[in-house]
Structure 1
Amino acid sequence: MSQATLDDDELFDEAASEMREDVESSLAEAREALPEADAVWDTDADNTLGVLNALKGALDTGDAEDHLRDAKKWFAMGKKADAFEDADDLESDIAELEDLLDSIVSAHEQVSELASTVPELRGALEDAESDDEDDE
């Protein structure tokens, strides 16, 4: 084997190791950006709309989606280059985090929709009460 081949193999191994570290680092950053469980559960709001708005804010994923995208990008590149000796753990971590983010984003959308509906519902109920009083 020539010296250039050894250097290329060493460089490839080093790059593969760095790529794995990049994937793991991006996954850790994505997890760190996720909402805290207590923030989703606890509230100090005085009314339903306050609770919904607090929950909507607590369900904000911040930069988690961007970090997950970076992890997926580096993982895809490393997998295509056959740079990982064992990629199953990374693939599993990515899938698990992706599922969790999908759930959080879905919950955020549902809470946002409900937060916009509740004031309309309150207004309609107040109008109905006002109509009842006028009829008496």
Structure 2
Amino acid sequence: MSQATLGDDEELFGEAANEMREDVESSLEEAWGALPAADAIWETDADNVLGVLNGLNSALNAGDAEDHLRDAKKWFTMGQRADAFEDAEDLEDEIADLEAAIEDLSEAGEQVGELTSTIPALRGTLQDIDETDEADADAEEDEE
């Protein structure tokens, strides 16, 4: 191979490495942007607890963030294996932070989902107790 070809190959590799880093950064930016807004999980217009829980459960959905994170990890892994990144710690840290945020959303969603199925049953149980107490009170009044 001639010197010119080697120089061209290095230049092409450098361009590819820069494009790969840009792809990772772009995917990370899109993933962060796809996460729900803080107000979406904090504010509600619901009239009751079940409405609040259903709204919160919907708001805790990571949406397309997981797909964008997967793309970022794919390009990051490829770039690392090709030794294309001079300094990739910042990308690695951001990927870890994003993974943690998505995992937190997922865990919170599971907890809210459990409450969403538990609260109506609990309400029914408490209503039955109230009805039983009322019936007992009515029976006592009738006896007097």
1:7 aligned onto 2:3: no
1:131 shift after superposition: 2.2
The 2-side partners of 1:61 and 1:101 are apart by: 6
- 2:82 corresponds to which residue? 81
Q: Distance in 1 between matches of 2:110 and 2:71?
A: 24
1:50 is matched with 51
CA shift digits 1:10-37 (9 cap, x unpaired):
1111110010000000000000000000
Are positions 1:22 and 2:41 aligned together?
no
RMSD over equivalenced CA pairs, Å? 1.1
> Secondary structure of the equivalent of 2:117?
helix
Q: CA separation in 2, counterparts of 1:33 and 1:103?
A: 15
Which segments of 5 or more consecutive residues in structure 2 lack a partner in the other structure?
140-144
Query: Partner of 1:60 in structure 2?
Result: 61
Structure 1: runs of 5 or more not aligned: none
> What is the one-letter code of the residue matched to 2:107?
S
Partner of 1:96, secondary structure, is helix
- Paired with 1:23 and 1:108, the residues of 2 have a C-alpha distance of 27
Question: By how many angstroms is 1:112 displaced?
Answer: 1.1
Q: CA deviation at 1:46?
A: 0.8
Matched positions, count: 136
1:101 paired residue number? 102
Tell me the distance in 2 between the aligned counterparts of 1:39 and 1:127: 35
Which residue is 1:72 aligned to? 73
TM-score w.r.t. structure 2 length?
Answer: 0.90
**Sequence identity percentage:** 64
For residues 99 and 72 of structure 1, the distance between their equivalents in structure 2, rounded to whole angstroms, comes to: 14
Structure 2 distance, partners of 1:127, 1:7, is 80
Q: For residues 106 and 8 of structure 2, what CA distance do their matches in structure 1 show? A: 46
| Deviation string, structure 1 residues 39-91 (Cα, Å, up to 9, x no partner) | 11111111100111111111111100110011011101101111001101100
**Which structure has the larger Rg?**
2
* Higher deviation after alignment, 126-135 or 107-116: 126-135
TM-score (normalised: structure 1): 0.95
User: Which residue of structure 1 lines up, in the alignment, with residue 131 of structure 2?
Assistant: 130
Within 1, Cα distance between the matches of 2:90 and 2:11?
Answer: 24
How far 1:129 moved relative to its partner? 1.7
